Structure 1
Amino acid sequence: MISRPKFLPSACMPGMHSSLSGPETWIPLIECPANFSEELFDVAISQHIHHPEYNSTLILRSETISDSNFASRFSSTIPELDNFQQSRCIHRKLLPRRPGRDASLEQYCTLYKATSSSPHTVLILTPIIYEKDHLPYYHPRVTHLAFRFLHPSPLHDTESDSGVLRIEVVPLPGTPLDQDSRLFRTCLALLDTLHRYGWGATTNYRKRVIHDVLIPREQYQDLYLVMRERHKGLVETWQEVTDPLKHVFEDIGIATYLMLLWKITFGNEEIEEMDLTMGEPWKKWPRPPAGFIDIGCGNGLLTHILISEGYEGHGIDVRERTSWKFYPQETQEHLHINVFNALDFCSDSNPPPFFQPGVFVVANHADELTPWAPVLSTLCSASGYLSIPCCAWDFDTRYERSATTMFPILNRTPISNTSDTCTELGSKKSSLDDFIETLNLGGDGSNSSGYSMYRIWLATLSVHTGWEMECETLRIPSTRNWAIIGRKRSSVLSQKEAMKNVEGIMQRVKERAVFKPRKPEGKSDRH
């Protein structure tokens, strides 16, 4: 893999003349060698326009209001430049991550060409400031900010086909411009990001982790902001020794995702525009027909959030946590000390408590219960399941990649992790490789780590137990944010075949005679 060239920024000399001429006075602030061609500047600035959240942690995202190629329709506040022609203007709205603290801001992103046949070489950002309005903190104090691609400068040792990136500004009156100023440091970060985007375009960089596969980013973020405001007080009343900032906002994110996932799964498969400002519309959204069961619920926070928002369900764990008795009575009534023996599940007998047909199984960092989630979901005819694996467990012991065989993919021969067996399989290994490509595992793509192999194994297990496997990388503050989702029955395996596979798994676990169900710590059900 080719490494990105070193980012070598330098401050522009005070009093340097700008080649951007027009009614405004432009001040060159900072520049660096581009290390990519002029043609790729378009790709780099497109990333800047459509993903401002990568430039500031205070920005949630941008929304495009209009996109025009007709200069006659451009606003008069957009600067005119001598020897450049305006070719495209994107009117966008920047949305803050903390709307209660920061205001949103509309902005023009205008692209310029030196000639009609040249690529874009200038992008100018123009904040739209109405009378008495002020720029939010996340936006630099400028009237205009320009990203430029210039042909090689003698001040830099650059390749003949690589130019210079420069940022120039029209600052608001009284704005400091020295190298210790906030504006200079902001432009330094923006230039670094632009340089990275350009190099990514040069090397055809492709993100290994793709978010928002099933749930659109906009709908998730909008609902998450509402849920965060409703439940952020839990940080102040946290009863566990663990970090409240991580756990509270992580479970708010998971609850948000489940609410939207259930909406499309048990509704019309679409997420239309949502008006979250009127009432509590999610309380009328579709939901699992038999509620949810949060297995290994731990502190019970996820169960509490969902119950508080009107969802039916239960959380079970081997022991009660300190937090449980501090939740409202309604939540406490849905948290249970309960230990079930997975081997007691029988397809032809009454299901154990909480595992009624149609229930949705949630395994949120459920450790030993993680591999059982798809198995139990098949046995009890669940409406689906979501599992967020953390510690790697097999059915009755710790997961060991050297001793574990992948389950068949689409009725093919089982595929082992061991190198000798993989060599013998030939084309069958290719089928596994194709399957792995769909899993959105992230990392360096080698999939050689123990955690990657564990997730691959879980994915093959999901298919083997009769589920159409889907994956999502959740937007939660955790390094263990990969989720595997089963919400549709397999179109390849019949229910009878899936049940036969599940019974085969349980039979092998019984034959090994290693599995030992945990004992409840306290009364088996305190309610």
Structure 2
Amino acid sequence: MSQPRPKFEPQIVVDAPESQWLPLIRCLANFPAEIFEVAILQLVHHPEYNSTLILRSEVLEEYTSDFPSLTPALEDAIPARCIHRKLLPRRPGRDAALEQYCTFYSTKGSTIVDNLVLTPIPDANSALPYYHPAVHHIRFRYLPGEVDVLQIEVDRLPGTPTDPNSRLYRTSLALLDTVHRYGWGALGNYKKRVHHDCIITREAYQDLYLLMRERHKHLVDTWQEVTDPYKHVFEDIGIATFLMLLWKDSYPASQETIDENAPWKSWGRPPGGFIDFGCGNGLLTHILVQEGYTGVGIDVRARTSWSHYAAPTPSSLRVHAFDPLSLPSDDALFPAGAFIIGNHADELTPWVPVVATLTSASGYISIPCCAWSFDAKFERSSTKGYPYGEGFVESLSLGGDGSNASSYSMYRIWLASLSVHCGWKIESETLRIPSTRNWAIVGRKREGDAEEARANAQEIVDDVRNRGVFKSRKPEGKAGEH
């Protein structure tokens, strides 16, 4: 078992000599100097982990010689590398982007990086954005000694306060804590167990998400359900964003003229449209339909929201009690090449890859929540399993403590192995949505023998039918009105 991180105990630096660099705060390093570069690289490449106002950074250029003139000269260290990056704000309408030099230094006579200096590149027409400290430079140091120390020093702008209640001090405190945490994690050979952006790049997702959020955030103010609008609206905007980019990468682009204000209008999309299983409040269907995608959302009962959505969404929401035992019939519901969405679809979740196989779907996404098998709750001790090969579980990026011993982890492994059994090549993603149930499994490519996969899926339907336990739910309310 790995040891817990040592307690972070920062100390204010007092009696510092007068110089360009004002030491603000320090703490024990608790890891060797060789680890320092690993920790500060994480800080440079992921500033969003330390500020909710920053979306991400983009590397514009790297230098190993002929360093930019703004990079400061240090008396006791020489520059080894410089990364020119651009900080992108999470709310570009409020905060400006900012370019910055991140310069790595080694003490003279050493090859170990033990200094990092962050230098904002000033814009003559505007002040530094709110999310950046009021400094010319901010410096991270690894100071070896009887006890090794991490220290933050600043070359501040005139008049910038540095007392413990100031923004500069509080920002420096948070940054020092982050470097201390990253260093300890690297020392323990920490491996991130959850990997985002395995299917869609972070940059593409975040850029489109910002547009989608602006286009649909008004739904918070017109929410008709009793549930939390902030969670549901922004979660489904995130899922819609992911699907739009997934379909763009999976299907040929259309011949429509590109609209600069809505370029996704000409992106690829499922040839048979989409089917949103158990669509609930219908919000995901609504967002996709409003953005020009063809599809339907089905559920056993209509929700209050359905009739309040703008046209043409209401005509795309239908009361329907899907009966998987009738497969592979129901051609009207499953046109050839449809893409099936199982977003927290409860008891329909395990049927998603089976239905996708038997109806010749072009693909599917399943975002599981409650653990169901085909006609009962999932029980890891008794539910029939499906074989999988070495390294399969590790490829799923299940998160947690890495043991995969929880019931939810076992359920996701079961779903993934079921998908392989039905002939789908598995891709998994941890979605960037505000939900603890954000793991998704995607099938968009077939592998193995198609006839064998179809026979496997049909055998599942036959077995469930023969057990006689499964009962299709009946439509509720006036189904004919939707």
Instruction: Indicate the TM-score class for this superposition, using the shorter chain for normalisation.
Output: over 0.9
Other structure's SS at 1:451 match: helix
Other structure's SS at 1:102 match: coil
Measure, in 1, the Cα distance between the counterparts of 2:481 and 2:318: 7
Aligned equivalent of 1:77: 70
Measure, in 2, the Cα distance between the counterparts of 1:240 and 1:352: 32
Aligned equivalent of 1:5: 6
Other structure's SS at 1:401 match: coil
Tell me the CA shift for residue 474 of structure 1. 0.5
Tell me the CA shift for residue 212 of structure 1. 0.5
Letter paired with 2:17: H
Measure, in 1, the Cα distance between the counterparts of 2:278 and 2:84: 48
Q: Deviations over 1:347-400 (max 9, x none)?
A: xxx434321110000000010110010111111100000000001111111111
Tell me the CA shift for residue 189 of structure 1. 0.7
**Residues 253-402 of structure 1 correspond to what in structure 2 (within 5 A)?**
253-267=238-252, 278-346=260-328, 350-402=329-381
Aligned equivalent of 2:453: 498
Q: TM-score, normalised by structure 1?
A: 0.88
Q: TM-score, normalised by structure 2?
A: 0.96
- Pick one of 198, 214, 217 that aligns with 2:183: 198
Q: Deviations over 1:426-462 (max 9, x none)?
A: xxxxx4x621111110000111111111111101110
Other structure's SS at 2:8 match: coil
Gaps of 5+ in 2: none
- Runs of 4+ in structure 1 displaced over 6 angstroms? none
Tell me the CA shift for residue 152 of structure 1. 2.2
Aligned equivalent of 1:272: none
2:82 matches 1:100: no
Measure, in 2, the Cα distance between the counterparts of 1:382 and 1:305: 22
Measure, in 1, the Cα distance between the counterparts of 2:202 and 2:126: 29
Letter paired with 1:34: A
2:134 matches 1:149: no
Letter paired with 2:272: A
Measure, in 1, the Cα distance between the counterparts of 2:404 and 2:79: 46
2:473 matches 1:518: yes
- Pick one of 499, 508, 518 that aligns with 2:463: 508
The answer on whether the counterparts of 1:351 and 1:380 sit within 8 Å (CA) in structure 2 is no
Identity of aligned residues (%): 61
Measure, in 2, the Cα distance between the counterparts of 1:151 and 1:525: 76
Other structure's SS at 1:122 match: strand
Other structure's SS at 1:438 match: helix
Measure, in 1, the Cα distance between the counterparts of 2:109 and 2:44: 22
The answer on whether the counterparts of 1:407 and 1:457 sit within 8 Å (CA) in structure 2 is yes
Measure, in 2, the Cα distance between the counterparts of 1:130 and 1:378: 56
Letter paired with 1:302: L
Q: Deviations over 1:444-501 (max 9, x none)?
A: 01111111111111011101111111111101110000001110111x2x12111111
Measure, in 1, the Cα distance between the counterparts of 2:480 and 2:376: 26
Letter paired with 1:11: I
Aligned residues: 477
The answer on whether the counterparts of 2:237 and 2:287 sit within 8 Å (CA) in structure 1 is yes
Other structure's SS at 2:99 match: strand
Tell me the CA shift for residue 112 of structure 1. 1.5
Measure, in 2, the Cα distance between the counterparts of 1:115 and 1:361: 60
Other structure's SS at 2:396 match: coil
RMSD: 1.5
Q: Deviations over 1:152-187 (max 9, x none)?
A: 26xxxx3xxxx1100000112222211122211111
Other structure's SS at 1:121 match: strand
The answer on whether the counterparts of 1:338 and 1:525 sit within 8 Å (CA) in structure 2 is no
Letter paired with 1:215: I
Aligned equivalent of 1:135: 128
Q: Deviations over 1:6-31 (max 9, x none)?
A: 21211111x3127xx6xxx1110000
Measure, in 2, the Cα distance between the counterparts of 1:376 and 1:524: 23
The answer on whether the counterparts of 2:375 and 2:464 sit within 8 Å (CA) in structure 1 is yes
Aligned equivalent of 2:44: 49
The answer on whether the counterparts of 1:85 and 1:114 sit within 8 Å (CA) in structure 2 is yes
Gaps of 5+ in 1: 269-275, 410-430
Measure, in 1, the Cα distance between the counterparts of 2:3 and 2:78: 36
